[in-house]
Structure 1
Amino acid sequence: EHVGLRKLFTGPESFTPDNGFLIGEAPEVSNFFVAAGMNSLGILTGGGVGSVVASWIVDGVPPVDVTDIDIARLSPFQTSRPYLAERSVELLGRLHSTGSWPHSTPATARNVRRSPIHERLEQAGANFFESSGWENTAWFAPDGFEARFELSYGRQDWWEYHAAEHHAVRRGVALLDLSAMSKFLVLGPDAEKVLNRLSGNNIAVPVGQCVYTQWMNEQGGIEADLTVTRIGDERFFLVIAESFHRRVETMLRRSIAVEDRVYVTDVTSGYALLSIQGPDSRTLLSEVTTASLDNDVFPYFTAQDIDLHCARGMAFRMSFVGELGWELYVPSEFAVGVYDRIVEVGHELGLVHAGMETLESARTEAGRRDYGLDMENTDTPLEAGVGFALDFEKPGGFIGRDALLKQREHRPYASRLVQFLLEDPEPLLYGEEPIMMNGEPVGYLRSGAYGHTLGGAMGMGYIEHADGVTLDLITSSTFEIQVAGERYPARASLRPMYDPKNLRVHM
């Protein structure tokens, strides 16, 4: 009679493959909205989720960044029972332990999606992390080195190997496997019309021309960031980061009217993507192909079908790291042979394998934007500094044009993306650190990496200022980035601090 009563409620909890919510319009069914997968946080976050979904339904666009919670980020295979049985148990623990630490990646449900050259990369010392089910290379280490993952915001024990990869990109030549990137083939007499309606840039270009563009919503917010390459009169090749595969595919298919003669094919699995980057990339590839790679024959941001050792593939001259380089799209069955030839001839040139840590550090130095970090659905191209990829005068316009024209009338913009470099070489940046201007908070970093060439941690973040963010404001102000409660002086720039005139890609 003295024990008392205690109530205990038990019930099923929903855990998603990446601990993010499942919110938004279902890719499979228009106007069908989902609000689920709260990962045991439904009571805590239910009010906010309801507000976001309600606004999304009424306004047609979400009022907040939905990169990590959009239901379209996940793929159908991630609903399989074996996959979820492995992953969900682990993520319950990760939610309250290691999930938010830098470089932390799930250990279960791995090796589900692999590059055609995965085993070769493993033999080369690759350390992998998981992205949208793909095994992506993070960094490479020499034989005999066993990495020890530490829960730390400091330098990991593989730091020096990552730094060597970065320097190889800047001074020599490096190979990066980007096969996880999503790839779509868009065909048909009306393909140009449909793509031009979606794209801020002009897709009506000659065959062989690559186009960098964004897709916007009606309010001018960026929904996708991609390249569109015209590979034939009625053939276009689209490349997008793997995390936005279903979003882009859904936007594309929903934009095709019944009368449009357009056909969309997902060719992601059909091609390996080998990126050869660095000042010596032309010298290396000249031993792999008989095609001329000279500037007058193969200029920057163009594409050609070329021979690649015993295979043929598509070569796009472009660079996300800000160097001379080519992206090779190799049919999957030929990928190992082409890779082996690249490694063979690259040995004399000091070819280095590089992973995504180096892609991130090099692109941050070069000021290249990463969608999902530096840009998302509540940012506009004008705020993000990619207004050069908008063609307001092209026939037919594009989705979001009117909203962006209205914003352009109110310059200077109250929010602009700025690049930062810490003056102290010791602290590291990972993103979300507060930005202080003249001692006052004005924003936070969207992304962070280490600029090994420039000698300090770097990041990009939006500065908010009611009177507009101008060059004069940037140059006349003092900036600090707050790291773990301590403020560090930082340089700020609206232009890339590394190669601001973008000359190196034209070498």
Structure 2
Amino acid sequence: MNGNIDIAIIGGGAVGLSVAYHLLQMGGCSVRLFEANRIGSGTSWHAAGIVGPLRSSLNMTRIAMYAGHLFSELENETGKSTGYRQTGGLWLAQNHERLTELRRIHAMGNRVGLGVEMVSPQEVTQVAPHLRVDDLAGALWVDEDAQVSPVDLCAAYASGIKQLGGLIEEGQPVERIETDNGKLKGIALLNGERVKCDRVVLCAGLWSRTLAANVGVDVPLQAVEHMYVVTEPIDQLREPVPVVRDLERGVYLKGDTGKMVIGGFEKHAKIWNPASEIPTDGGYLMFAEDWDQFAPFMQAAVERMPVLESTGIQMFMNGPESFTPDTKPLIGETPELPGLFVAAGFNSVGVMSSAGVGRELSEWILNGRPRFDLWEVDIRRVSPKWNKTKNLHLRMQEAVHTQFAMHWPLKQPEPRVGLHRSPLYERLISAGAVFGCLPHWEVPLWYAESESERSIIHTFGEQPWWDITQREAERMAASVALIDLSQFSKFKITGKQSLEGLQYLCDGDMDMRLGQSKYTVMLNQRGGIEADVTVSRIDSNCFRVVSGASTRYRDFSRMRQILDYFDDVLIEDRTQDEAVLGVMGPLAREVLQRVFSENLQTEKFPFGHIRKVKIGGMEVTALRRSYAGELGWEIFMQVDDAMMVYDLIRAAGEDFGISHLGMLALDGCRIEKGFGHWSHEWDSDVTPIEARIEHTLGTRHRDYLGYDAIRRQKEQGVSQRLLLLEVLLQTSERPLLLHDELVLCDDEIVGLTTSGAVGPRTGNLLSFALVEFEPGESFLEICNKHLQIEVAGDLYETRVLTEAPYDPDGMRMRG
């Protein structure tokens, strides 16, 4: 039998069922769900069933909160119980640093209206008298923490799907996803049936990686053995028993009809290969008990809840669970194969996440994008290197444990695998570089001048590297510095319709003179910013596009999909072909003039222009731009020439005291210049008008993507804007501003910070913030508001800056 449908869903766990349910609720499409065994088998059936709405970011919290609504609503719609029960929950802190982290998370709960409260150890005993608290510094209480029965939830989803007219086919393994000339065509079942469809949603849990790999798609997840135990009944328990997360010990506890469920997240989790074992129990996989692996969690639970020492164990559950290298789910349309969507790699929170992910992914499938930006879990964030089996196994040494580990600022993944290195890596090591990680690259964070400066010290207080970044920036501002920028994403767009394609993609006018470059943004239909890029015109039908390091695969796939609608356009990813070296500072011209064949005076080489030049007989491309806000050039060169070009420029700058600038100093410099950053200051939900970068829009009237939304917003006004705030310190102690700190106006929450830094040249404590206000309020009225930033429970006065605190007129950069 062969069939045609709109959407095929592979996998009948909680996530796949939720996607099917929400697609059918939205209507207008035919859906078939294929489950190799029984619905809820695989991973969902043995989940602990904890429902925790509070996450570390705004949009992830919004997704998680929806579960509390849907799980109750499903019971009303279908008449089937989901076992949903709100119990409240505790996040325990044993030290000041963990308590500080919880205070920051508490602020996120306040932002979205959750019932959150910081409580003392004595207050913990009032809601959980069975816990030992003498070693606690405090705790975070969340009213909305809850639990659900995974098996009952899956049955309720299935009932809802059938009521809405959907088809669920159990015992129907999918053999492969089918393509034709790189285009999605459908799926082939193991029984020989071929199903044609426009879109496929891969929700096969730990089997998703193998199915995706067969069509050249990377889904980097790894199955591990995940364990918990259920005790015998305990008479002393007082219902409801709150969910308890004992973070320092890496263990969780929850009530279960008079019993306790105990589980944890360990280092060096036990790897399991799905191909090594074929399910024989209808997909309800269980592994052997492993008390050697679980004993530390049992001991930790006994220490926290002493009554457990005399309580027997009724069941030991050991089943497979998939984790990802960065411990974030993989959601969205794959960059390699348009039409193939993924929802997998949930790092033990798939049942809880199923509600929100099902709704957002359905919006994405049917309307082209989710209701709000999901970049942090977007599958387009991953690198193919992440998906190498060796790298996945190495990351499991830490990834599982990361669930409860401290989320320190500047915490680096260990081991560092699956990352690219600059061609200049060895030279930078010799210069004192202390390396850290971007999603795909190792980059110099700063340059150490002593052994003591080489350590990354973790704290939520004043950062030890602030003095180092100040030193680096001051040297650059006084002379000249080298910045390795090889991690930039670099694309080449050619063809007779390349200009037409870029005119549609970009909000600025791309019909530039040859050799000119322009900063611009790419929008979606709602006017939200999908990318901020620098576009340079190399020839009449040849353009160079440069974007940020972390968005490489996202930017490439989105541009390629849109440019495919034009007849003669080719886009190539050139990121790995070129190294990039920034030469920045007031003496950059003098240094480069010693080695360049081109006249670098402003009248010959103006700001915002690009040239091919010779250095030591090698051809390089010089772009006059600066993210640091100083006079400077970005030098693009072939990888094989990189070290020689670096050596020539460094030698030419010795007389000028040439130095190096790391990524942390660069980040501080861009903030004190008022330069925003995609995925920090703005994302696909924020427009150029809201981001206060209207200069990218230009003055011409044309139908670029998002034009109608921008035109409407100009007419109607906006209700949020990006502001640059200076914190007015009352003492010498400077708080650490990261992102997502609350912004308050007269005690009312009006927004969140997006980035923060101590300006390395000005010394000012600065923060970008996205702030809501009444429509029609002028910028002057906003500037006069009483705005405060809350950092870990403490309030700090601010003032709105009307211009960048460093070189506001840009004379240093353009001189």
Scaled by the length of structure 2, what TM-score is found? Answer: 0.60
- Corresponding residue for residue 723 of structure 2: 418
Describe how 1:265-276 pairs up with structure 2 within 5 A: 265-276=572-583
Contact 1:149 1:156 in 2 (8 A): no
2:540 aligned residue (233, 247, 251): 233
Counterpart pick for 2:377 among 69, 87, 94: 69
Q: Does residue 793 of structure 2 align to residue 488 of structure 1? A: no
Equivalent position SS for 2:323:
coil
Q: Which residue of 1 aligns with 2:74?
A: none
The one-letter amino acid of 2:369's match is V
Pair 1:49 & 2:354 matched: no
Q: d(CA) in 2 for partners of 1:213 and 1:11?
A: 49
Structure 2 stretches lacking a partner, 5+ long: 1-231, 234-310
Q: Name the residue aligned to 1:344.
A: 651
* CA offset digits 1:374-395 (Å, max 9, x no partner): 0111111110111111146355
In the alignment, the residues of structure 2 paired with residue 259 and residue 472 of structure 1 have an alpha-carbon distance, to the nearest angstrom, of 44
Q: Larger relative contact order (C-alpha < 8 A, sep ≥ 6)?
A: 1
Please state whether the residue corresponding to 2:538 is helix, strand or coil: strand
2:629/2:670 contact within 8 Å kept: yes
Partners in 2 of 1:320 and 1:455 — Cα distance?
18
The alignment status of 1:442 with 2:750, answered yes or no, reads yes
Query: Which is further off, 438-447 or 372-381?
Result: 438-447
What's 1:92 paired with? 400
1:461 aligned residue: 769
SS at match of 1:307: strand
User: After superposition, where does 1:329-478 map in structure 2 within 5 Å?
Assistant: 329-391=636-698, 393-395=700-702, 397-411=703-717, 413-424=718-729, 426-478=734-786
Greater mean alpha carbon deviation, residues 230-239 or residues 57-66: 57-66
Tell whether the 8 Å contact from 2:521 to 2:529 is kept in structure 1 after alignment: yes
Q: Which residue of the partner structure matches residue 327 of structure 2?
A: 19
Structure 1 residue 31 displacement after superposition:
2.7
- Of 3-12 and 414-423, deviating more is 3-12
Per-residue deviation at 1:156? 3.6
Tell me how far 1:417 sits from its aligned partner.
0.2
Residue 206 of structure 1: which of 503, 509, 513 is its match?
513
- State whether residues 480 and 488 of structure 1, in contact with CA within 8 Å, keep that contact through their aligned partners in structure 2: yes
Cross-structure match for 2:216: none
* Unmatched segments (≥5 aa) in structure 1: none
Counterparts of 2:484 and 2:566, CA distance in 1: 39
Structure 1 residue 79: Cα displacement: 0.9
Matched residue, 2:613: 306
SS at match of 2:460: coil
The structure-2 alpha-carbon separation of the partners of 1:472 and 1:58, relative to structure 1 and needing over 3 Å to count, comes to same
- Mapped to 1, the partners of 2:440 and 2:411 lie a distance apart of 15
Once the two structures are superposed, residues 420-479 of structure 1 have per-residue CA deviations (whole angstroms, 9 ceiling, x without a partner) of: 111215223111111122332210101111113332321101110123452222332222
Q: Deviations over 1:191-233 (max 9, x none)?
A: 1111111111111111101011111111111111111100111
- Which residue number in structure 2 is paired with residue 30 of structure 1? 338
CA distance in 1, matches of 2:637, 2:521: 25
Q: Which residue of 1 aligns with 2:181?
A: none
Equivalent residue for 2:428? Answer: 121
Sort the Cα spacing of 1:146 and 1:172 in 2 relative to 1 into closer, same or farther, 3 A.
closer
Superposed, 1:138-153 pairs within 5 Å as 138-145=445-452, 147-153=454-460
- Structure number with greater Rg is 2
CA contact (8 A) 1:128 1:138 kept: yes
1: CA distance, partners of 2:464 / 2:642: 31
Judged with a 3 Å threshold, the aligned counterparts in structure 2 of structure 1 residues 173 and 43 are, in CA distance, closer, same or farther, namely: same
Task: State the partner residue of 1:280.
Answer: 587
Deviation (angstroms), 1:494: 4.4
Structure 1 segments, 4+ long, off by >4 Å, are 1-5
Give 1:133 shift.
2.7
Offset of 1:47 from its aligned partner? 1.7
For 1:485 and 1:278, the matched residues in 2 are separated by: 39
Query: Aligned-residue CA RMSD in angstroms?
Result: 1.9
CA contact (8 A) 2:373 2:683 kept: yes
Cα distance in 2 for residues equivalent to 1:107 and 1:195: 40
- Would the aligned equivalents of 2:466 and 2:758 in 1 still touch at CA under 8 Å? no
Aligned to 2:554: 247
2:722 is paired with a residue of what secondary structure?
strand
C-alpha deviation, 1:111, in angstroms: 7.3
Secondary structure of 1:496's aligned partner: coil
Contact kept in structure 2, 1:55 and 1:62, CA below 8 Å: yes
Contact 1:148 1:157 in 2 (8 A): no
In the TM superposition, residue 285 of structure 1 has moved relative to its aligned partner by: 1.1
Distance 1:44 1:60 in 2: 24
Match of 1:293 in 2: 600
SS in structure 2 at match of 1:467: coil
In structure 1, what is the Cα distance between the partners aligned to 2:411 and 2:528? 30
Kindly state the Cα deviation for residue 500 of structure 1 after the two structures are TM-superposed.
Answer: 2.4
Alpha-carbon spacing, 1:192–1:109, altered in 2? closer, same or farther (3 Å): same
Structure 1 residue 250: Cα displacement: 0.9
Q: Evaluate the alpha carbon distance shift between residue 159 and residue 465 of structure 1 in structure 2; reply closer, same or farther with a 3 A threshold.
A: closer
Q: How far 1:60 sits from its partner (Å)? A: 1.6
Equivalent residues of 2:373, 2:685 under 8 A apart: yes
Distance 2:575 2:313 in 1: 58
Percentage identity across paired residues of the two chains: 34
Deviation for aligned residue 1:89: 2.6
Report the number of matched residues: 504
Q: 1:173 aligns with which of 453, 456, 480?
A: 480
> Residues 494 and 67 (structure 1 numbering): CA distance in 2 closer, same or farther, change over 3 Å?
farther
Query: What is the CA–CA distance in structure 2 between the aligned matches of 1:315 and 1:262, rounded to whole Å?
Result: 25
